[in-house]
């Protein structure tokens, strides 16, 4: 479906907001105000392109830790993000119990993942099976990094989705590194999209720095899934501009020149250039978005800093029931 200029601006806005929030998280970490951050900088186009291709609040999502932009598009707020980063009681996913970026949001049908990579793939296959058994026209989108596609759990989930022709979109955000490991030391094919033919599902590689290209590819995958034509594997090729996490020093395994070179294809820049070229984004609109993003980030930080931590006597709630009922 052709996107209006307004929707395209909305997509750009979401990417920008995710970027400014993510950048602030790095600053908070270096200020000693948060313990850990895992970044989605460079991934925004893939996530926003995918989110806009689904019906938000209707379809299901099993995201991974870099999916901040995706979660914002689903209704997660900057304050939610800051609460989770700071481990505050108002963190909507876990009340401050889970690692940051292990998102969940009941109203958006977004399900939290576990720390072992790729485990959310089998969750998505299970959700896909439930959708099929209930004869609904929903789809489920799950994302992983390319390194996670080396895991047995990933193959099991994809295989199950393919065998039963489930309405699952398997999005791989191929950012060229699994911590320090490049794809060529992990797989004998050029990329995860090439694994699809061996498992019997549609596989496709798309420029993951181009939000509109991702939107088109995922929209087609959604259409196939809703028609009962089964799952699709979409490999969004992009680049992880930041280190793996706030605990990583990427200078030990990649050159500064390589990183700088990839910044020329920064997804924000790519979207901005495209929108300006077709006159869908003016300088004044861009300035307004920058100001709004900074204000929202500042307010979110302020709210989270002032918010209380969970109390120790609530640590196990609601993980365990108060009493075990027998009989
Ligand atoms: C099963 C498992 N092994 C190792 C880890 C440690 N680990 C966390 S993230 C990560 C890299 C994953 O790389 P990739 O799937 O390419 O995603 P990216 O972080 O690059 O987005 C690893 C090895 C883990 N969480 N789970």
Sketch the domain layout of the chain as residue ranges. 5-304
**What's the gap in Å between 57 CA and the centre of ligand 1?**
28
Q: Is the pLDDT of residue 327 over 60?
A: no
| Tens-place pLDDT, residues 143-192 | 999 999 999 999 999 999 999 999 999 999 999 999 999 999 999 999 99
Q: Residue 212 and residue 50: Cα distance in Å, rounded?
A: 9
What pLDDT is recorded for position 315?
A: 80
Average pLDDT (10-36) is 98
Q: Is the pLDDT of residue 272 over 70?
A: yes
The residues annotated with a catalytic role in the active site are 240, 244, 253
| Tens-place pLDDT, residues 69-102 | 999 999 999 999 999 999 999 999 889 988 999 9
CATH topology of domain 5-304: Rossmann fold (3.40.50)
| Tens-place pLDDT, residues 124-147 | 999 999 999 999 999 999 999 999
Q: Is the pLDDT of residue 53 over 90?
A: yes
| Tens-place pLDDT, residues 197-227 | 999 999 999 999 999 999 999 999 999 999 9
**What's the gap in Å between 144 CA and the centre of ligand 1?**
9
146 C-beta closer than 6 A to ligand 1: yes
117 C-beta closer than 6 A to ligand 1: yes
């Amino acid at each position: 479906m052709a996107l209006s200029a307004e929707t395209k601006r909305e997509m750009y806005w979401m990417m920008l907001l995710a970027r400014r929030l993510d950048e602030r998280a790095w600053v908070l970490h270096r200020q000693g105000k948060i313990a850990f951050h895992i970044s989605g900088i460079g991934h925004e186009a893939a996530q926003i392109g995918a989110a806009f291709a689904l019906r938000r609040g209707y379809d299901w999502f099993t995201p991974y830790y870099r999916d901040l932009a995706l979660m914002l598009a689903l209704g997660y707020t900057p304050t939610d993000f800051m609460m989770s980063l700071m481990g505050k009681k108002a963190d909507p996913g876990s009340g401050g119990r889970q690692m940051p970026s292990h998102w969940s949001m009941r109203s958006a049908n977004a399900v939290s993942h576990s720390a072992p990579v790729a485990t959310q793939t089998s969750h998505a296959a299970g959700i896909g099976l439930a959708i099929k058994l209930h004869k609904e026209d929903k789809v489920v989108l799950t994302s992983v990094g390319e390194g996670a596609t080396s895991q047995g759990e990933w193959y099991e989930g994809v295989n199950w989705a393919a065998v039963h022709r489930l309405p699952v979109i398997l999005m791989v955000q191929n950012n060229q590194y699994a911590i320090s490991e490049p794809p060529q030391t992990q797989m004998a094919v050029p990329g995860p999209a090439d694994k699809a033919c061996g498992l019997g599902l549609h596989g496709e590689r798309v420029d993951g720095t181009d939000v509109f290209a991702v939107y088109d590819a995922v929209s087609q995958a959604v259409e196939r899934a809703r028609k009962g034509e089964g799952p699709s594997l979409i490999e969004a090729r992009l680049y992880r501009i930041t280190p793996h996490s706030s605990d990583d020093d990427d200078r030990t395994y990649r050159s500064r020149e390589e990183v700088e070179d990839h910044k020329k294809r920064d997804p924000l820049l790519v979207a901005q250039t495209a929108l300006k070229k077709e006159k869908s984004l003016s300088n004044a609109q861009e300035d307004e978005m920058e100001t709004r993003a900074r204000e929202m980030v500042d307010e979110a930080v302020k709210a989270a800093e002032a918010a209380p931590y969970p109390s120790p006597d609530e640590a196990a709630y609601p993980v365990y029931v108060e009493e075990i009922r027998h009989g």
